[in-house]
């Protein structure tokens, strides 16, 4: 369901009603199909685009900032997807110790980090860059690689790996 609003120049722009997206059975079913195809144990992540779109569907409708982790085995098969931290409209406290603990519990070899910006901007803040560096350093101590960190907002999700920030 979308809302529309007339802009001062007479054009109409569509606004997404994110609350109704979460209640829409078709969207929930689509997320389920993506989870079944991409995130079942043993499925290998071979397409960065598919991962980006999956994370976008999972996080774009969040009203508050959410930080999630995809835990992967040595062949980059998904072990689990977890929303680990929930914050406010403009930030979330992320604790490297908790991420390392879950990585060890899952016995994973690699992770993909993701979080949403409810403001819509996908540009990484200094805090985003700093926590990515801290997580990468902490996870390296237990031999877990950080493959990417996505920021989900309006438009195409931002990838730290694609711009050389990892």
Work out the pLDDT band at 2, boundaries 50, 70, 90: very low
| 32 belongs to a structural domain | no
Count of the separate structural domains present in the chain: 1
**Tokens for 132?**
């990515």
Domain encompassing residue 92: 44-159
pTM reported for the whole predicted model: 0.74
**Which of 29-43, 46-60, 73-87, 91-105 is the least confident region?**
29-43
Paired strand residues for 15: 3
What confidence tens digit (pLDDT) does each residue in 100-139 have? Answer: 999 999 999 999 999 999 999 999 999 999 999 999 999 9
Give exposure, 1-30, as e/b (b: 16+ Cβ within 10 Å): eeeeeeeeeeeeeeeeeeeebeeeeeeeee
The backbone region for 143, taken as left when phi is positive above 0, alpha when psi lies in -120 to 50, beta otherwise, is left
| 99 belongs to a structural domain | yes
| 132 belongs to a structural domain | yes
| 19 belongs to a structural domain | no
CATH number at residue 110: 3.40.140.10
Q: How many residues does the chain have?
A: 166
| 14 belongs to a structural domain | no
């Amino acid at each position: 369901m979308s809302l529309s609003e007339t802009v001062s120049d007479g054009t109409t722009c569509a606004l997404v009603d994110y609350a109704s997206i979460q209640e829409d059975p078709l969207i929930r079913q689509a997320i389920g199909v993506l989870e079944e195809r991409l995130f079942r144990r043993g499925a290998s992540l071979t397409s960065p685009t598919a991962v980006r779109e999956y994370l976008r569907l999972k996080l774009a409708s969040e009203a508050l900032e959410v930080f999630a982790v995809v835990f992967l085995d040595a062949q980059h098969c998904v072990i689990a997807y977890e929303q680990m931290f929930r914050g406010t409209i403009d930030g979330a406290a992320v604790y490297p110790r908790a991420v390392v603990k879950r990585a060890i519990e899952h016995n994973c070899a690699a992770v993909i980090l993701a979080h949403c910006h409810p403001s819509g901007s996908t540009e990484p803040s200094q805090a985003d860059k700093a926590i990515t560096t801290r997580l990468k350093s902490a996870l390296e101590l237990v031999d877990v690689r950080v493959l990417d960190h996505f920021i989900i907002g309006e438009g195409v999700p931002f990838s730290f790996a694609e711009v050389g920030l990892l």
